A and B are shown apart, each in its own frame.
Chain A
Amino acid sequence: MEELIKEIKKNIIEVLNLEDLTPEDIENDAPLFGEGLGLDSIDALELIVMMEKEYGIKLKNPAEGKEIFKSINVMAQYISDHRTK
């Protein structure tokens, strides 16, 4: 799980162009949206693309993302439970 968390953080920084951040700056429990990293609705859609491209997880409804992208921990759990690649 440690490895996966590190990888997810790296992927997020890359696909969302969070140039000023390093994986260490992202807390595992902090919310990704709103107060946390200040991500917006396009970022959420971009994360949906990342889920499919990197882990083979297809989210049909963007509203599902709300739950899954709550924090790095929640995301990592969801990915390890549902990944197809």
Chain B
Amino acid sequence: MYFLADNIISPLGNTTELNYQAVAAGRSALRHYPAADAAVPGACPAGAFPEESVSLEPYVAARFSAGQLHDIEINGLTRFEALAVQSARQAIDQAGIDVSAPNVVFILSTTKANIDSLRTGEESDEAFIPSAAAEHIAKYLGFTTKPLVVCNACISGVAAIITAKRLLDAGFFDQAVVCGADVLGRFFLSGFQSLKALSPDECRPFDIERIGLNLGEAAATIVFSTSRSRFRVEDGAIRNDAFHISSPSKNGEGAYLALQAIHEATFHDDLSFINAHGTATMFNDQMEAVAISRAGLSDVPVNGLKGFFGHTMGAAGILETIMSKEALLHGQILATRGFEETGTSVTLNLANVNRAASKKRFIKMISGFGGGNAAVLVHSENRDCISSAKIDHNECAINTHHHIILDSRSVKLDQEPIACHECGRNLLVELYKKYISDYPKFYKMDPLCRLGLVASDLLLQAVSDIPQAVILFNHSSSSQADRSFWATVSDPDESFPSPAHFVYTLPNIVTGEIAMRHGIHGETSFYILPDRDEGFINKIVNSICREKDFVNALVGWIDYPDDEHYLADLRFIRKA
């Protein structure tokens, strides 16, 4: 799969070129923002930011100015949707492709999409669900195929690139528009503040004095194609820590496995740099250093870009891949702004100034909540030695070995009913007590994770081996957890954001919980679709099964819109 065109819209500029020039010149988008204090009218400049984006504590972030927000606006679209459209449209125009063709797919990478519309939304209003936003964006841009949302927390951007590569390599589509975006509002700010993850100053990736991350808003888009061009995504992998839903593993297991899966010794001397996640939290950067070292890559130059853009969440993996591709093109390794003195147990090859480089490959790595880690390998190929695009149209044969259907009234394993009496939310508690009972963490989980834990446990009790991967789909994202967290934030006089509720507002946490419970270190992926389109789901599952080391997986639909209408329809599948 090849890069055809790309775009970045950040506070540093609205094209890839402007963003690259700014960062190469050392300019950062990070600024200090005061707290919105009810006792001090005007503490936050009135009208400068949408009302929902004021915060109760001062913070540092990379935000769009009022003027930039005005330029982004599109009538009839939310701030998030307009931002994604502006970025995608520039990349599509530059690529000159017809997005109304049936061989073009739109993939949206986001963590929370329109989440701040929850603030004003009615109970039944689904505008805050990512698939609703994806449909608005895709329709506005003129796509006729169904949009796919990759919702894998912080790794979403790189996971979306990997998803696109698989769908194109399998011949299901010829072009993919991969767009990542998130905007900053009260939901995010209060959530990250409750996790005590934000630095009160500009972040310092990998530095000994790092104390946390800065959030950023941006959109970034890459148009990928099967037609040859200079930059190719050679390989990609997603692996889980199976350690904790919000803390990275101490030995960097998932990140190490992802690096190992895409890195072959023959590339080593040709590796220009590794662009790390480098959030500047104590644990993330330490974990990445360990993973890079375990993968035998400590001599390779490493950089991190959060000191320029902040953590742009759903956009991060795409934005940082584009910046790294530009750096490869310009023969540079961009500086790690904020880094001064090594603050990890393993010394990495870092610098806070730009360095010259002449090699042909880079690795982009990323990690996030739910224990997910992803990495991609990008290659700048000489025109005369461009390898042929490997399109293999043969479908991969998959066998279903066991199957569970659990809804709010009944449960069937391999078509045999399992005895139960309760219904709704109580049914899950009944099943847990009767058939599982040794995992009290169940009670801490949000409804989606409870459903995932019970359904996967019952299914895997019938299976003799542990699945290698967990690939789940739904429509409602984590709407129950979103509402529960919002309830802890929404009252301005009684705002006590709950960190436990916030973590569960990432729907991919259910894949992480299942991975932790069963010690699954392979891929964990979560996708959101406008509806349960089995044809599309089969294409995605099929494209994953074609991976060279794929053996088996837990896959299926898991949706929890409310206590009466939930459904888990999961299968244990094997490559035939």
- Could you tell me which A residues sit within 8 Å of B by CB distance? 16-20, 40-43, 45-46, 48-49, 52-53, 62
Inter-chain contacts of A16 with B (CB < 8 A)? 444, 500
A53 to B503, CA, bound (A): 19
Inter-chain contacts of A40 with B (CB < 8 A)? 244, 247
**B196 touching A53 by the CB < 8 A rule?**
no
CB distance from A49 to the nearest CB of B (A): 5
Known contacts A20-B443, A53-B496; can you find 8 more A-B pairs with CB under 8 A?
Answer: A17-B444, A18-B443, A19-B440, A41-B247, A42-B246, A42-B500, A45-B194, A49-B498
* A49-B499 contact given A41-B246, A42-B246, A62-B196, CB 8 Å threshold: yes
**A46 touching B500 by the CB < 8 A rule?**
yes
Inter-chain contacts of A20 with B (CB < 8 A)? 440, 443
* Chain A, Cβ-Cβ closest to B501: A46
A49 to B500, CA, bound (A): 10
* B244, B245, B443, B497: most-surrounded residue (chain A CB, <10 A): B443
Proximity bits, B439-454, A CB within 8 Å = 1, else 0: 0100110000000000
**A46 touching B196 by the CB < 8 A rule?**
no
**A49 touching B496 by the CB < 8 A rule?**
yes
Which listed residue, B496, B497, B499, touches A42 by the CB 8 Å rule?
A: B499
* A-B CB contact pairs (8 Å), 27 listed: A16-B500, A17-B443, A17-B444, A19-B440, A19-B443, A20-B440, A20-B443, A40-B244, A41-B244, A41-B246, A41-B247, A42-B246, A42-B499, A43-B500, A45-B194, A45-B196, A45-B499, A45-B500, A46-B498, A46-B499, A49-B194, A49-B496, A49-B497, A49-B498, A52-B496, A53-B496, A62-B196
A52 to B57, CA, bound (A): 15
Inter-chain contacts of A17 with B (CB < 8 A)? 443-444
**A18 touching B195 by the CB < 8 A rule?**
no
Inter-chain contacts of B245 with A (CB < 8 A)? 42
**B440 touching A45 by the CB < 8 A rule?**
no
Interface size class, chain B: 10 to 19
- Could you tell me which B residues sit within 8 Å of A by CB distance? 194-196, 244-247, 440, 443-444, 496-500, 503
A43 to B247, CA, bound (A): 12
A76 to B244, CA, bound (A): 29
CB distance from B241 to the nearest CB of A (A): 14
* Chain B, Cβ-Cβ closest to A45: B499
CB distance from B31 to the nearest CB of A (A): 22
A46 to B498, CA, bound (A): 6
A52 to B175, CA, bound (A): 52
CB distance from A66 to the nearest CB of B (A): 13
A62 to B194, CA, bound (A): 10
Inter-chain contacts of A19 with B (CB < 8 A)? 440, 443
A20 to B439, CA, bound (A): 10
Which listed residue, A42, A48, A52, touches B503 by the CB 8 Å rule?
A: A42
* Chain A, Cβ-Cβ closest to B497: A49
* Chain A, Cβ-Cβ closest to B503: A42
CB distance from A56 to the nearest CB of B (A): 11
* Chain B, Cβ-Cβ closest to A63: B196
Inter-chain contacts of B443 with A (CB < 8 A)? 17-20
CB distance from A45 to the nearest CB of B (A): 4
A62 to B198, CA, bound (A): 12
A12 to B440, CA, bound (A): 15
Inter-chain contacts of B500 with A (CB < 8 A)? 16, 42-43, 45-46
Inter-chain contacts of A18 with B (CB < 8 A)? 440, 443
A41 to B503, CA, bound (A): 12
